[in-house]
Amino acid sequence: TCDGSLSGASVTLASSIDSASTTATITFTICKPLPADGKVSIDFPTGFDVSGAAVDSATGMDGGTSVAVTGDDVVVARDGTGAAVASGTKVTVVLKTVVNPSVPGDTGVFGVGTTDSANTALESDPAVPKATITCDGSLSGASVTLASSIDSASTTATITFTICKPLPADGKVSIDFPT
């Protein structure tokens, strides 16, 4: 019997770098059949930008799909041209143009669910394990502003930048000025 829970649900990011546009691979095994006009919903944790998300590929279900995005929620609606997905089928949906959060660290959990065309819940997993967003180690927004631009004058330089990785209390910042 089916208890209303998806099994083996996972969300895997092709890139875990902060602010990267990437693909998200959503995989799960259904117990209750997914109708040909059913829907798969993916609730992304806060910080992701899924406004441009689109289906890159899908396996385990055939037919056409459309995508609707509301906030952090992506709904992949089947268009009725394929067959119902049978119980025990492993389904994989790859979404493209998912933008990772801009802050490194652990995301919250993802939610994955299936519904019929009238949005009646079939199965879900509201606690799909989180992802870890990392940084590439580069600085962003680096700039140098001189108080005076007069040749050979003694001046003050204001240096600003944003770091990705934490700077230890005894860490050092190295600045190379041109000669």
Q: What is the mean pLDDT of residues 141-163?
A: 89
Q: Assign residue 133 a region (left: φ > 0; alpha: ψ between -120 and 50; beta: otherwise).
A: beta
pTM for this prediction: 0.81
Alpha carbon distance, N-terminus to C-terminus of the chain: 75
Mean pLDDT rounded to a whole number for the chain: 94
Q: Rounded CA gap, 44 and 107, in Å? A: 9
R_g of the chain computed on alpha carbons: 23
Q: 92-125: per-residue pLDDT in tens?
A: 999 999 999 988 899 999 999 999 999 999 999 9
In 3D space, the residue among 43, 50, 40, 165 whose CA is nearest the CA of residue 100 turns out to be 50
Residue pair 123/5 in contact (Cβ under 8 Å)? The answer is: yes
Q: Rounded CA gap, 42 and 71, in Å? A: 11
pLDDT: is 149 or 73 the higher one?
73
